[in-house]
Amino acid sequence: MKITNDFHEFPRRHALPRTLIAMGAAALLAGCAPQQPYLALAPPRQPAATSPRQADASPPQPNATPRQADAAPRETGFTSLFDGQTLNGWTLVGQHGDGYGVTNGVIYCARGGGGNLFTEKEYEDFILRFEFKLEEGANNGIAIRAPLEGDAAFLGMEIQILDEVAAERGRGGKRPSDQFHGSIYDVLAAKQGALKPTGQWNTEEITAQGRHIKVGVNGITILDANLNTVSDPLTLVKHPGLFRERGHLGLLGHNDYVEFRHLRVKELPRAKNANAGLEGFTALFNGKDLTGWKGLVADPKQRATMKPAELAAKQAKADELMRANWEVEDGLLVYRGTNFDNLCTAKDYANFELVADWKIAPGSDSGFYLRGTPQVQIWDPFTPPTKTGNEVGSGGLFNNQTHAATPLRVADKPLGEWNRSRILLVGDKVHVFLNDELVVNNTVLENYWQRDLSLFPIGPIELQAHQTPVWFKNLYVRELPIQ
């Protein structure tokens, strides 16, 4: 049949050039050459797309006329993260192999290469939208609220990018449910089945708003989680990044070829009014008075030996001193005394997450006692004389002798500005964030009062008074289960 059709088509195909010449000549004789051809010849059909080659270790070669910009949809409030031509606005950390590159308007992670490709800018609450295409067995990840250094899956969060079909067949070994596509890696599992076959483009949207993380793939919500529901102690101590409030977005390469395009982000506002409340937390300070607080009586070891009547009498005196030196001014909790009269919660706590905003005057010194044990340090690292210990900055476990006492970095804001401490205590292990920088990572807090014993299992939270002014606001606690 094909030979017969070609034979019948032969006269018409070969008559066409003569027809065009005659038409063009007639137009010239008429004094007006045609502005467009009267008959457009269709370009030859391109071969159908094929699946990516698995044995080719090099990225695909760009077309002769590559796209000049990332033609992402224009959406109100969204900002493009990729210009379609370069990696401007991104920084590659820990490159291996060929890392990442740009071809045909997409960002690709090279086969046998990768590293962490982070946005230069940090984000707090946001909606991230992008498209991605996988090869068979491909594995990558999306970092959210991540630092530039360390393992983003633990010090930030990683939303998995993964070929589920290959994973279900056992590529890379048997995976737990919280390592499949869209999951918060090693923390919370997403629903499976939303991905298109490998070689096709998928759309994804990640929303991070406070402790709520939502992931949608190809229009299907596969994860809608509240991080406050994560209560397993081992998970909490392994993943301090769950408690970060802001950080970088990133592509986390694992030696597999993956393409990304149309990356754009919309930043979401977050209310930060003093004592406005945090979802899942209980306020320790109401912004009006000292309800829920009491004065400090001796130390835990001494208190344990007191009879009820003696303890009550000493508590009454401590509360009187508290009211004299701790004040509420314009919604702020302020210490203006000259003693060492700590302010203690009336309630005792075991495992908890504490959030507190504070600022100090030049030379001031304070801290947080956890279960009545000193202390997470607050002091002035800027005012001379320094080099007396305070130069290391706030947030360290000051009284540790065996385990680390010094913070990982200086994260204090200039004097007079507000700092935010976020402290997680699980068992005897502590994470401390200062201004969203991890300054203590999974470190044992030692029992200052009885060095031969482990940390007390329960006790009050204390704000240390150290003869110098200090201001507090936004004091919140979230109790965690004991397991």
Residue 216 inside a domain? The answer is yes
What is the chain's Cα-based Rg? 31
Residue 397 sits in which domain range? 282-480
Residue 296 and residue 359 in one domain: yes
The span from the CA of 376 to the CA of 368, in Å, is 5
Q: What is the CATH number of the domain that holds 216?
A: 2.60.120.560
Nearest to 332 by CA among 367, 355, 358: 358
Which of the listed residues 267, 296, 331 is the one where a domain comes to its end? Answer: 267
Last residue of a domain, one of 236, 267, 298: 267
Asked whether 135 and 256 are in contact (CB, 8 A), the reply is: yes
Do residue 181 and residue 327 come from a single domain?
A: no
pLDDT value, residue 174: 81
In whole angstroms, what is the distance from residue 330 CA to residue 335 CA?
13
Q: Name the 3-class secondary structure at 164.
A: helix
Residues 327 and 194 in one domain: no
Q: What is the pLDDT of residue 339?
A: 85
- Tell me whether residue 63 is in a domain: no
pLDDT in tens, the chain (483 residues): 433 344 333 333 334 444 333 434 333 333 433 333 322 323 333 333 333 333 344 454 444 334 445 666 789 999 999 999 999 999 999 999 999 999 999 999 999 999 999 999 999 999 999 999 999 999 999 999 999 999 999 999 999 999 999 999 877 778 999 999 999 999 999 999 999 999 999 999 999 999 999 999 999 999 999 999 999 999 999 999 999 999 999 999 999 999 999 999 999 998 665 566 788 899 999 999 999 999 999 999 999 999 999 999 999 999 999 999 999 999 999 999 888 899 999 999 999 999 999 999 999 999 999 999 999 999 999 988 777 789 999 999 999 999 999 999 999 999 999 999 999 999 999 999 999 999 999 999 999 999 999 999 999 999 999 989 999 999 999 999 986
Same domain, 355 and 239: no
| Residue 77 DSSP label | T
255 and 286 part of one domain: no
Domain count along the chain: 2
Instruction: Report residue 386 as tokens.
Output: 């320094």
Residue 350 lies in a domain: yes
Do 221 and 302 fall within a single domain?
no
Q: 440-453 burial, b if ≥16 CB within 10 A, otherwise e?
A: bbbbbbbbbbeeee
Residue 58 in domain: no
In a domain, 7, yes or no: no
Is 9 a member of any domain? no
CA distances from 386 to 156, 393, 400, 416, 419 (A): 32, 10, 21, 18, 20
Residue 454: inside a domain: yes
* Judgement on whether residues 112 and 196 belong to the same structural domain of the protein: yes
What per-residue confidence (pLDDT) applies to 431?
98
Q: With left for phi above 0 and alpha for psi between -120 and 50, is residue 251 left, alpha or beta?
A: beta
437 close to 240: Cβ distance less than 8 angstroms: no
Q: Both tokens of residue 268? A: 């979401």
> Has residue 455 been placed in a domain?
yes
pTM of the model: 0.81
Beta strands in 239-372 (DSSP E): 247-254, 258-267, 282-283, 293-295, 326-329, 332-335, 343-345, 351-360, 365-370
For residues 258 and 369, state if they share a domain.
no
295 in the same domain as 240 = no
Let me know whether 305 and 406 are in one domain. yes
- Edge to edge, the sheet with strand 373-379 lists 293-295, 343-345, 462-463, 365-370, 373-379
Supply the pLDDT for residue 156. 98
Residue 444, strand partner residues: 429
The sign of the CA dihedral 177, 182, 184, 188 is: negative
CB 259 within 8 A of CB 108: yes
Q: What is the distance between the terminal CA atoms of the chain, rounded to a whole angstrom?
A: 78
pLDDT, position 274:
59
pLDDT for the residue numbered 134: 97
Give me the residues paired with residue 244 across strands: none
Residue 341: half-sphere exposure toward Cβ, Cα within 13 Å: 22
Residues 404 and 261 in one domain: no
What torsion, rounded to 10 degrees, do the Cα atoms 7, 13, 19, 21 define?
A: -130
Alpha-carbon distances, residue 376 vs 25, 40, 195, 437 (angstroms): 92, 77, 46, 15
Are 327 and 287 members of one domain?
Answer: yes
